[in-house]
Amino acid sequence: MSEIRCSIAGTIATVSLSNPGKLNALDVSMWQELRSTFNALSANTDLRCVIVQGEGGNFAAGADIEEFVTVRSNMVDGMRYHTETIAQALHAIANCLHPTIAAIEGVCVGGGLEIACACDIRIASPSSRFGIPINRLGFPLAPGELQGLLDLVGKAAALEILLEGRVFDAAEARDKGLIQRIVENVPDEAQQSAGRISRGAPLAARMNKQLVNRLSFAAEPLTEQELKQAFAFLESQDYREGVSSFLKKTPPNFTGQ
């Protein structure tokens, strides 16, 4: 059963991504629950830090692609899925009142990496793996999801990650600026980091987050035409081929159509 679990111990909340058997891939209900969970945590002013982790030794393998044939079967549904379901969940994490820590073990790819990018601090194990290999599925990264990656690593690294679609190790992720720390015991280090944050002044921590976000470069919002162009792939043969080949576990044959 897929779910988002949330526990609170003192001033620290822990949000766990759970989808056994699918490397914690997030289905629609999980994205929606993730958004509501973080909205609720932001409203709890007794908290001082939030840790995000995956269950079963993996962070998250992205969105649940088995749902794509229903939730992204056309442009209207696809735009709604990305601009409302996923982007708003990521927005709730990125704009959480409290500092957030991504405790990363195992697989952290696709939407899982997007969740990590939305957090303030990212701590990973040496064996963790990163990437956004959606070029094999026949579609680009949606604008509302690309912004977090681009803000974190910059244009050159973002293009390398997306164009090659490689899955790479923690050392390379740190070199690219995706993560700050590599440690053997991720849960313990995440708790220690959260403890250091919690012992600090909460109003100062919240203002630091607010000012960093305010002073960071923000691109002009996409026009309606640009947004539709970004999702035009949903009507392409390559997109249908990519998803179909993934579900069949066969190599895709892309034609550029």
| pLDDT over threshold 80, residue 245 | yes
Q: Which residues contact 178 (CB under 8 A, 6 or more apart)?
A: 113, 116, 117, 122, 130, 152, 153
> Residues 142-182: pLDDT tens digits?
998 999 999 999 999 999 999 999 999 999 999 999 999 99
Beta strands at 12-18 and 100-104: parallel, antiparallel or unpaired: unpaired
Residue 257 identity (one-letter amino acid) = Q
> Residues 77-132: pLDDT tens digits?
888 999 999 999 999 999 999 999 999 999 999 999 999 999 999 999 999 999 99
| pLDDT over threshold 90, residue 231 | no
| pLDDT over threshold 90, residue 70 | no
Q: Average pLDDT of 41-48?
A: 98
Give 17: exposed, middle or buried? Use CB within 10 Å, 0-12, 13-18, 19+: buried
d(CA 65, CA 137): 9
**Per-residue tokens: 203:** 């109003």
CA nearest neighbour of 179 among 106, 130, 213: 130
Q: Which residues contact 50 (CB under 8 A, 6 or more apart)?
A: 12, 13, 14, 15, 38, 41, 96, 98, 99, 100, 101
| pLDDT over threshold 90, residue 241 | no
d(CA 249, CA 109): 18
What are the structural domains of the chain? 3-184 (3.90.226.10)
| Cβ–Cβ under 8 Å, residues 39 and 47 | no
| pLDDT over threshold 80, residue 12 | yes
**Longest C-alpha distance within the chain, in Å?**
56
Residue 201 identity (one-letter amino acid) = A
